[in-house]
Amino acid sequence: MTRQTYSISDLSRELDITTRAIRFYEEQGMLTPERRGLERIYTARDKVTLKLILRGKRIGFSLAECRELIELYDPTGDNKKQLTHMLGKITERRAMLEQQLLDIEQMKLELDTAEERCTQALARAQA
């Protein structure tokens, strides 16, 4: 059975990310491709890692949080620990977003108040 491998351009095309981004994750120690001369050879595990990083970024996880989740990944197990940890991170992220929504609504009210005061002051100045 041959092991599935990918070049950097294969992964770039498949996952719709730049080769520069892939090299960045490699520099961060999150990917460890084999080398054949100057060519990088990525494994199926590297591809899964990249998918997890990209998914984590889409839902607002930091690179450090993505790294935590990836380190908990166990392809031979049931990944309960990883999934439980991810659920906790999702709960934290949701709470942070809810707070940001409240902050935005408050800021909008303050802008409305400031706008109304400016409009009234201009009307008085022109009268």
pLDDT tens by residue, 65-105 = 999 988 887 777 788 888 898 899 999 999 999 999 999 99
Paired tokens of 100: 């940001």
- Residue 31, SS3? coil
Q: Are 8 and 19 in contact (CB under 8 A)?
A: yes
Round to whole Å and give the CA distance between 14 and 16. Answer: 6
- Residue 120, SS3? helix
Over 80: is that where the pLDDT of 2 sits?
no
CATH number, residue 13: 1.10.1660.10
82 and 66 share a domain? no
53 and 104 share a domain? no
54 and 17 share a domain? yes
In which domain, by residue range, is 120 found? Answer: 75-127
67 and 112 share a domain? no
Domain count of the fold of the chain: 2
100 and 66 share a domain? no
Q: Are 103 and 110 in contact (CB under 8 A)?
A: no
Instruction: Please write the tens of the pLDDT for every residue from 33-63.
Output: 999 998 999 999 899 899 999 999 999 999 9
Instruction: Please write the tens of the pLDDT for every residue from 3-40.
Output: 689 999 999 999 999 999 999 999 999 999 999 998 99
Query: pTM of the entire structure?
Result: 0.73
79 and 65 share a domain? no
* CA-based nearest residue to 50, from 75, 74, 72, 67: 67
Q: Are 61 and 30 in contact (CB under 8 A)?
A: no
Q: What 8-state DSSP symbol labels residue 32?
A: -
Q: Are 33 and 46 in contact (CB under 8 A)?
A: yes
Distances in Å between the Cα of 7 and the Cα atoms of 11, 16, 19, 28, 62 are 6, 14, 10, 19, 26
